[in-house]
């Protein structure tokens, strides 16, 4: 994809189909006052009036956003511009021209997704200012600017609430409690009550954990998670949120310690800051006829390793550090695009070699060292291309 970081996005709200940041500029009266609309992690919009838009690079637009938001120099490394739609997500390199890539969007969808033609025709990307997948977590914890921390917090929170970062109940409560602290202020005994939290529970916890009818967290029952913690569990965690030493509880006090605490907790999740790709894996054969089929997965890739996540059940199927795996790929010219992950396992105590087959048109992104940073120096599967 000419150096872009491409990954298939999780289905988003329907209104995202109607976002238009760059590809339709000049054809809609609604954007007459702004040539480019850049979306932040909290869905707010930064309108930019620019000249010669078709030839502007991502680096130039990135600088314009930083100037409008008055962000410090660290934001140059911490954030990148992305083209994002429900079907595909692409992190842009500084030299890329967002307008031209927006115009080429249907071709990119045909090349890197299996979306049907009618979905391709409807899909339109928005230009987003998001975390750079190359930005190390250790540098993130060195940031002191509150607005930069807030943007990183909002993005992490959105990924947790959307269940893109699968969490167990305890992590959900701990992270949700920090969101309570940011949105509701310091904990006061008796306020809020569990009933108050229940009214906007999906602001603090992933939606699939807020289902009614079978009790909160019912989706996790049977996986070793505790059931029935409910709003009270979130409230208890809220009461345990620590206030910074010497902090002022008056309105307007800095929220930086709580943003940083949320990020620090998020760093414990192995898929924090990952690039995500859509794919499928074979289901185990079941029943008399041994029918299996395929299961949709999200492949999360970070600086440390690879995680394969069940897109429907929201749990991790496989997690490997790079030193634990070998890889290979099958090019689409030969047969269906496949990424192979080979790793050591055991079968009833006996060491065995295991192989996971991931079907994805994004496989070409895995194969390019310019596209996906973590695979370019890693060993390939025996018999694979050197």
Domains of the chain: 36-132 (3.10.20.90), 136-210+232-239+256-269 (1.20.80.10), 275-383 (2.30.29.30)
Which pLDDT value is given to residue 131? 97
Are the C-beta atoms of 126 and 39 separated by less than 8 Å? Answer: yes
Residue 24's nearest CA partner among 2, 54, 44, 69 is 54
Provide the pLDDT for residue 113: 85
pLDDT at 136: 92
Q: Determine the angle formed by the axes of helices 146-161 and 256-266, rounding to 10 degrees.
A: 40
Helix 169-184 vs helix 256-266: angle between axes, to the nearest 10 degrees? Answer: 170
Give the residue among 69, 107, 105 at the shortest CA–CA distance from 86: 105
% of residues, the chain, pLDDT over 70: 74
Going 61 to 63 to 68 to 72, the CA torsion angle's sign is positive
% of residues, the chain, pLDDT over 90 = 41
Distances (CA, A) of 84 to 80, 129, 143, 311: 12, 10, 26, 18
Quote the CA–CA distance of 125 and 8 in Å, as a whole number. 12
The pLDDT of residue 204 is above 80? yes
Q: What is the pLDDT, as a whole number, of residue 140?
A: 94
Q: How many helices (H) and strands (E) does the chain have?
A: 12, 13
On the question of pLDDT at 337 being above 50, the answer is yes
Q: What is the pLDDT of residue 212?
A: 55
Section 17-23 average pLDDT: 50
CA dihedral over 73, 77, 78, 84, signed as positive or negative: positive
* 315-321, strands of its sheet edge to edge: 315-321, 305-310, 294-301, 275-282, 350-359, 338-347, 325-330
The pair of three-digit structure tokens given for residue 245, joined into one six-digit string: 């030493």
Average pLDDT over residues 143-172: 95
Virtual CA dihedral for 369, 299, 273, 263, nearest 10 degrees?
-160
| Tokens matching residue 362 | 């994004």
Assess whether pLDDT exceeds 80 at residue 214. no
In this prediction the pTM is 0.81
- Residue 364 is inside which H or E element, if any? helix 363-367
Radius of gyration of the chain (CA): 22
Average pLDDT of every residue of the chain: 79
- Check residue 289 and give its pLDDT: 58
What is the predicted pLDDT for the residue at 22?
57
pLDDT, tens only, 353-374 = 888 888 887 655 554 433 444 4
| pLDDT given at position 260 | 96
Q: What is the pLDDT of residue 123?
A: 93
Q: Does residue 103 surpass a pLDDT of 90?
A: yes
Query: Does residue 334 register a pLDDT over 50?
Result: yes
Contact 130, 80 (CB under 8 A): yes
| pLDDT at residue 23, rounded to an integer | 46
Residue 13 has a pLDDT of 34
Q: What's the burial of 219, exposed, middle or buried (CB within 10 Å: 0-12/13-18/19+)?
A: buried
pLDDT of 165 reads 93
User: What pLDDT is stored for residue 146 in this prediction?
Assistant: 97
Model confidence at 178, in pLDDT bands (50, 70, 90)? very high
Does the pLDDT value for residue 384 go beyond 50?
no
What is the length of the chain? 386
Both structure tokens of 227: 């059931």
């Amino acid at each position: 994809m000419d150096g872009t970081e491409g990954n298939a996005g999780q289905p988003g709200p329907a209104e995202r189909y109607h976002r238009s940041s760059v590809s339709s500029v000049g054809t809609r009266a609604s954007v007459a006052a702004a040539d480019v609309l850049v979306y932040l992690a909290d869905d707010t919009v930064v309108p930019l009036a620019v000249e010669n838009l078709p030839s502007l690079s991502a680096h130039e637009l990135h600088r314009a956003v930083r100037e409008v938001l008055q962000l410090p120099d660290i934001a140059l490394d911490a954030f990148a511009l992305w083209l994002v739609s429900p079907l595909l997500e692409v992190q842009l390199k500084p030299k890329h021209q967002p307008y031209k890539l927006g115009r080429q969007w249907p071709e990119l969808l045909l090349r890197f997704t299996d979306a049907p033609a009618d979905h391709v025709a409807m899909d339109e990307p928005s230009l987003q200012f998001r975390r750079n997948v190359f930005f190390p977590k250790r540098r993130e914890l060195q940031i002191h600017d509150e607005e930069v921390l807030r943007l990183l917090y909002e993005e992490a929170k959105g990924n947790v609430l959307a269940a893109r970062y699968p969490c167990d109940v305890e992590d959900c409560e701990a992270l949700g409690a920090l969101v309570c602290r940011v949105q509701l202020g310091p904990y006061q005994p008796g306020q809020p009550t569990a009933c108050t939290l229940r009214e906007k529970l999906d602001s603090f916890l992933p939606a699939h954990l807020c289902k009614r009818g079978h009790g909160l967290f019912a989706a996790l029952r049977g996986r070793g998670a505790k059931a029935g913690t409910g709003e009270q569990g979130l409230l208890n965690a809220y009461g345990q949120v620590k206030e910074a030493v010497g902090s002022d509880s008056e309105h307007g006090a800095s929220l930086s310690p709580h943003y940083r605490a949320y990020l620090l907790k998020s760093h414990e999740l192995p898929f924090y800051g990952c690039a995500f790709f859509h794919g499928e894996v074979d289901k185990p054969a079941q029943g008399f006829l041994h029918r299996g089929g395929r299961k949709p997965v999200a492949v999360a890739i970070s600086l440390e390793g690879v995680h394969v996540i069940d897109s429907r059940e929201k749990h991790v199927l496989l997690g490997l550090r790079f030193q634990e795996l070998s890889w290979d790929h099958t090019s689409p010219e030969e047969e269906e695009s496949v990424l192979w992950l080979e790793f050591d396992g055991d079968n009833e105590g006996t060491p065995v070699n295991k192989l996971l087959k991931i079907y994805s048109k994004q496989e070409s992104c895995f194969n390019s060292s310019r596209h996906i940073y973590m695979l370019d120096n890693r060993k390939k599967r025996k018999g694979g291309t050197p």
